[in-house]
Amino acid sequence: MNNPTQVKYKTIVYFICAVAALGGLLFGLDQGFIANALGTIEKVYKLGVSGGEMYSAILATGGIIGALLSGLFARFLGRKKSLIFAGFIFTAASAYSALLPPLAILSACRFSLGFAVGTASFIVPLYLSETAPAKIRGSMGTLFQLMITIGIFLISVTNVLFVKIFINPIHSLPFMFLTISFFAAFMFIGSFMLPESPRWLMLQERREETLKVLNKTLNSQEEIDLEIKEIEEALHGPKGAGIEIIFKGYFFKVLVVGVLLQMFQQLVGINMMIYYAPTIFKYAGITGIIGMMTVPTVNVLFTFPAIPLVEKWGRKKLLYVGAAAMFVTMLAAGLTFKSISGITDPSMIGGAPKTILLTAAIIYIFGFAISWGPVVWLVCSEIFPLEGREVGMTITTMVNWTFAGLVMADALTFMKKFGNSSIFYLFAGFCVLAIIFVAMFVPETKGITLEELEFNLKGGKPLRDLGALSANQTERYSS
């Protein structure tokens, strides 16, 4: 084999990964929905600040339940059928929401959307990591986060347009929900065209079907034979272990890493910015198209560089850069809000604080979009051994949704109680803790197969060194 960085993969590989990543698009559509639709929903359903937070947070509650059960879906239905199932719920719940049912039913629909998002946030990274070849697993894995940002951007644009076109919120709100339903139908239909994950097929002892999938995605018989050999070696232990695997020392170590990665991804403050940026900007007198579209636009644009950088720089370097950028900008935003805390009329706030706040928001989103957004999902899909991958992904995804719900449900109330600057200082502190954690415990997983990671883990290598190739492994990949 020649230099592995020069290997070209079949077009079908990129098609498979792109279709699977549509689950991230729907994740983004639902995640970004609130930012520019909350005002419209409040007018139709008469929600206050606390009511708006509660409606927003219902998504996270559904996400936790979806993540909890998605491990079972992935185990018994397979990765492909689980994606189809999530796509169906996306389509049905968003379409029914467009009928503007009573608030209790609308909330149930949002819970259902959260359930589908929780399932997709588990299944999509798992499917991509198990299906994409090792040398492009990182860049293909970041497609999930890219699709999330595209979804956030699309729903922000369409929501703003619908508000402008339809003056009456009763007319604009159904179209906002139908936008989600329209894209959900693409994922639902597209999922039927996907092959099943080869690693799941091997767990089910369906070797012939595994070979058919690998023939589609890999370039040579040599690659296929090596992939099959490594998967079979990884399966020498228990197949499809249950929850008891968390008590095994090697598994518990990477579980802690995954849990803390997902926790920090939320505690650096991203969902406050995604859900409530227009509201927060309004506190500082920033309104109109700038207040509504700055965050979603910057978010999608700055996720594109993560696709090549995750393979060029590696996972850890991006996490360092992102956390450092977010720390500086959260601190700047907190100081800016502190400086204008005595101004009761936002229209009286000068241009300098607005400029600093907008600049801080842009750099903050840049820091997250190239790092903690895509990399956390990617690493969590890589570090768990095959027999416990569903368990590990279930727990870490639930942690993500739990802390996302805390941020969604409490961010605005926290600012109201302790001052607008307080929450930015809090998130800045978590950025520092995240940097320390990455330095001490997170492995670099660039360019190594999932099976080699598993061998290193079970062989007792320290967490930070799990992605280090041995002399024999280096010889194999460079030959």
How does DSSP assign 405-429, residue by residue?
A: HHHHHHHHHHHHHH-TTHHHHHHHH
pLDDT, tens digit, for every residue of 272-288? 887 777 778 887 888 77
399 or 310, which is more confident? 399
On whether residue 205 sits in a domain, the answer given is no
For residue 427, CA distances in Å to 217, 219, 273, 292, 458 come to: 42, 45, 11, 22, 35
For residue 414, pLDDT beyond 60: yes
On whether residue 227 sits in a domain, the answer given is no
Per-residue confidence (pLDDT) for residue 328, from 0 to 100:
96
* Residue 220 structure tokens: 């040579």
Distance of CA 463 to the CA centre of its chain: 23
- pLDDT (mean) for 208-220: 85
On whether residue 299 sits in a domain, the answer given is yes
Nearest to 270 by CA among 370, 155, 180: 370
Please answer whether residues 377 and 144 qualify as being in contact, where contact means their C-beta atoms are separated by less than 8 angstroms: yes
Domain that holds residue 461: 10-194+237-478
For residue 201, pLDDT beyond 60: yes
On whether residue 4 sits in a domain, the answer given is no
On whether residue 199 sits in a domain, the answer given is no
pLDDT class of 441 with cuts at 50, 70, 90: very high
pLDDT, tens digit, for every residue of 354-406? 889 889 989 999 999 889 988 998 898 888 887 788 888 889 988 988 898 88
82 or 311, which is more confident? 82
On whether residue 220 sits in a domain, the answer given is no
pLDDT class of 49 with cuts at 50, 70, 90: low
On whether residue 125 sits in a domain, the answer given is yes
CA gap 203, 410 in Å, rounded: 42
pLDDT, tens digit, for every residue of 58-95? 888 898 898 888 888 888 889 999 999 999 999 999 99
CATH code (residue 354): 1.20.1250.20
> Percentage of the chain with pLDDT > 90?
23
Domain count, the chain: 1
C-alpha count within 13 angstroms, C-beta hemisphere, residue 414: 17
Count of C-beta atoms within a 10 Å radius of residue 153: 22
On whether residue 223 sits in a domain, the answer given is no
Lowest mean pLDDT among 135-139, 337-341, 381-385: 135-139
- pLDDT (mean) for 432-442: 95
For residue 443, pLDDT beyond 50: yes
Contacts of 174 (CB under 8 A, 6+ apart): 98, 99, 100
Alpha helices by DSSP H, 5-131:
11-20, 22-45, 49-72, 79-97, 103-131
474 or 419, which is more confident? 419
For residue 430, pLDDT beyond 90: yes
* Residue 68 structure tokens: 């909890």
With H, G, I as helix, E, B as strand and everything else as coil, classify residue 129.
helix
